[in-house]
Amino acid sequence: MTTVSISKLSPSNLARLIICPAYLAAPFDNESRLRFQGLHAIAVLRVIARHIKQGFQLKSLERRGRGFRIDLEFLASDGRVRVSEVKSARNLNEVHRIQAALYWHEGTHDEVVLSNGTTDIALAREYVEEVHRRAETTRRFLMQNPDRAAVSFRPSSCVCRICANYHCPFLPKKEAADQGSFSSGK
């Protein structure tokens, strides 16, 4: 990973690197990618419907950023802008919360929620600010100590299952050899 790519990490990758600096993304095969996109689309529709019932107006859908995409932006009747990071996963975990927090930007968004087909979790402002501090610390560590970061393994159930760093002592060797694609939720 080069210095340039570290400065442009997507929230998805950065969230995983905050948890484990040695994380390497496992590749998607085409069948898994298509399945994931279908499940994500269904979750997005459910989140939109739920927000509209709560009185929100859809402001944007899949708005592109620098190397990433914000799933949904809503406008509340009082003028608040809500960003919703949508996951197709049934169970929302810490890496999902971290990723959602990374989409918040001061002055642009008033609140951020993590959503799936059934749930919306509003993230506290203090949590979001702490995630942004951790993100900057992680970026500095990756840039200043890339060799050390590459072996700074921190096992986590929400990251290890989709990691392709086969040097990791926490990734079972059989699983590492068999792991050629990522086929679970976003």
pLDDT digits (tens, 9 = 90+) for 83-107: 999 999 999 999 999 999 999 887 7
pLDDT tens sequence across 137-183: 999 999 999 999 999 999 888 888 888 888 888 877 544 444 444 44
Question: Are β-strands 111-115 and 81-86 bridged in parallel, bridged antiparallel, or unpaired?
Answer: parallel
Report the SS3 class of residue 32. helix
pTM over 0.75: yes
**How far is Cα 103 from Cα 83, in angstroms, rounded to an integer?**
8
- The two tokens of residue 180 are 């050629």
Nearest partner of 150 among 134, 166, 137, judged by Cα? 166
Helices (H), the chain: 3-7, 11-19, 30-53, 94-102, 125-144, 146-149, 157-160, 173-178
* Mean pLDDT, range 115-143, rounded to an integer: 95
Give the start-to-end residue ranges of the domains of the chain. 3-178
Residue type, 163: C
- Across the strands, what pairs with 72? 61, 84
Please name the amino acid found at residue 6.
Answer: I
pLDDT band with cut points at 50, 70 and 90 for residue 114: very high
Residue 132, pLDDT > 70, answer yes
Report which residue type is found at 131.
Answer: V
Structure tokens at 64: 């592109």
**Does CATH place domain 3-178 in 1.20.120?**
no
In this structure, the dihedral spanned by the alpha carbons of residues 135, 140, 145 and 147, taken in order and rounded to 10 degrees, is 40
Confidence of residue 60 (pLDDT cuts 50, 70, 90): very high
Q: What is the pLDDT of residue 7?
A: 63
